[in-house]
Chains A and B, each alone.
Chain A
Amino acid sequence: MENTPAEMLHLYIDGELNIMDEQPLFAELNINEELRSEMRDLLSIRRSVQNDSEAFAPPVESASFIFSKVGLNPPVSIPPPEVLQPIATTGTTFFSNLFRYVWAPILATVVSIIGTSIILTNYYNNKIEQVKSAATSKTSFDKFTETKENSNINKEIIPRITENKNISNHQPKVVTFNRKNTVKHIGFETVSNDKEVENAQESLKVDNPIFERNLSKTPFIIVNKNYNSAFNPSFNLNQIPFDNSLNSKFLRNKSDESSYSIYLRGIYAKSYPNTDLNTASNPLFTNMSLGAYISGGRHLQFGLEIGQEAFSQIFYNMENGIKWQYKQNPVIFWGAFGALVRTDKIAYLGGVQPFGQLLIGGNQLGPLGKLITGIQLNSPEIGVGLLLGLEGSMLFYTNQSTWYTSRKLGFTFGTSFNF
């Protein structure tokens, strides 16, 4: 039976019209104003019905009645649809969810920190002697003096910086003794224990002092206020070699090998997927992070970082048999463990230091990872530096047993304070 134009219109709106009937319908719509009016009315009715968001929840007691009637035990709770809560405001929820999602990254980070620290500690113990420089501490001079007093060491052999007035005329004797294939200088340096004093005494008995062969190393002068004014370093500085492996702390550049660093960073990044939604809240210090790091070596730092920034989210939720799409852009507080690696300064680029940083942590929604790369420019004099770089983030979260990701890519910029 052939359909009338009105019937074809109804079928077309319901998606049930044969494709062969579409052209005749469109042709009729083109000339029939009444048919067009009917189409507008039908679409208005449909839109109104689709906007009917009234939900009808079954009575709670009905479930118990039904199950009892059929001879089954009522369930403890009929599983309701899980709705993602983007903002957790209670502290207990934050920590319990944080532990549940980040225990694996935390464990991996702790193990790697411990392992790296052990490796680095053993490495530097083999390189650095346990002798403190005399120039750093008056206490060490006192100890040296006490040691000398106790051990009856000939004062003329081992120069005493504060009391020996013959220093200015005294030719420096570079005494070397080897331990573990490294060289340690003693002469104007203090020894820290009696054993080393004895060793020094033995060494000084050598007729010809043994000069360090690596004369190409940068020489240094130990400058200390405790030096007697009569001390006149008239000797050839080049004959006092310097070995970079003898790395005493007071010689380190403040920012090159700082023990502690504080980072304050701003973040400007775009989320993927992008919802084009404004954040519902705009707390203070949004899109910023604060980190505290300790040195794990010359180029390595480990620490903790916290921050607050917005993450766009798109996810689906089944409610009453209907699949709903949720879009939101919440501001989320996060915490993470970080590892930062820097190279040496690049002189021809103004002394900038490229760096790479990895953060692994999480927030109340799920695990979070960040990868940052950029450049730092540090001022050794004042211990402050600037940084600029690229940052990529990935947040994992779940809703109704389905995992989703929110990714961000953008720029980071900030300041470092080095101690």
Chain B
Amino acid sequence: MSDNFAEYSDIELYYMLGKDKETSEKAFAQLYARHSPRIYAYLRRFLGNREDIQDIFQETFVRFYSASLEQKKMTNVAAFILKIARNLCLNIKKRKHEIISYEDYMSLSSINPNDDSSKDELLELIKIALELIPSELKEAFILREYDGLTYLQIADVTDVPISTVKIRLYRAKKMIRKILIPYLTET
């Protein structure tokens, strides 16, 4: 076995979890280094700048390690971790019945479409628009546009059929475009 754990694939590292302590530590450290930035970015984009994002992030990896000790069949480690993070996000949203803040809505309404909007402003508008659409549509949009997942991968992560993924993405882009159409015509 090589001492350089960076040479192993995600699947190989996953199967090393649960072995002797030293091997588990190194394998888990490598998996954490590879996937933690992406998971944290997903949580930040999906949940925004919340106070409990760190808690959700930590819980994601704790649950992942626990699951690795029980579930030995694995095909896609990245999607598996993302699923855990997503489920935790949905639980949070269900409990707190998230709504868009009045300030965000007003800030969007107050923007003058005749202003010379730069690309950065358009990006900020897109982020605000994401807050105005349903969370499942927002999630599909983030996974497709930010994380670059294919329809099949999104279906695997969200545990829905591909046809549902197609519909969600179509509706998400439609809604975002509809919100931003006064500003898009000026760019």
Interface residues of A (CB under 8 A from B): 6-7, 10-11, 14, 16, 38, 40-42, 44-52, 55-59, 62-63, 65-67, 69-70, 72-73, 75, 78-80, 320-321, 401
Contact = CB atoms under 8 A, between A and B. Distances in A.
Contact of B177 (A42, A55, A65, A70): A42
Contacts of A46: 145
19 contacts: A6-B174, A10-B166, A10-B170, A14-B144, A14-B151, A38-B177, A45-B176, A45-B177, A45-B184, A52-B123, A52-B146, A56-B44, A58-B37, A58-B39, A66-B62, A69-B62, A78-B32, A78-B33, A321-B37
A63 B32 contact: yes
Contact of B187 (A44, A59, A78, A79): A44
Contacts of A40: 184
A174 to B, nearest CB: 77
B14 interface: no
A50 B39 CA distance: 18
Contacts of B28: 67, 70, 72
Q: Which of A42, A48, A62 has the most CB of B within 10 A?
A: A48
Given A10-B173, A321-B35, A16 B166 contact: yes
Contact of B58 (A7, A10, A66): A66
Q: Lowest 8 A-B CB distances belong to which pairs?
A: A320-B37, A56-B41, A75-B29, A58-B40, A70-B65, A321-B38, A48-B123, A56-B44
A176 B66 CA distance: 98
B145 A49 contact: yes
Contact of B151 (A16, A73, A79): A16
A51 B122 CA distance: 11
B2 to A, nearest CB: 12
Contacts of B25: 67, 72-73, 75
Interface string B150-187: 11000000000000001001100110110011001001
Contacts of B40: 56-58
B6 interface: yes
A166 to B, nearest CB: 89
A48 B119 contact: yes
Interface residues of B, number: 47
Contacts of A16: 150-151, 166
Nearest to A41: B184
A73 B20 CA distance: 12
Contacts of B41: 55-56, 320
A51 B173 contact: no
Given A11-B166, A55-B41, A78-B32, A45 B58 contact: no
A50 B30 CA distance: 27
A66 B151 contact: no
A49 B35 contact: no
Contacts of B145: 45-46, 49-50
Given A56-B45, A72-B28, A79-B30, 18 more contacts: A10-B166, A16-B150, A41-B177, A41-B181, A42-B173, A45-B184, A49-B123, A50-B145, A56-B40, A56-B41, A58-B37, A62-B54, A63-B32, A63-B36, A75-B26, A78-B29, A78-B33, A320-B37
Contacts of A80: 33
Contacts of A47: 119
Contact of B173 (A45, A67, A69): A45
A38 B173 CA distance: 10
B135 interface: no
Given A48-B123, A66-B62, A58 B24 contact: no
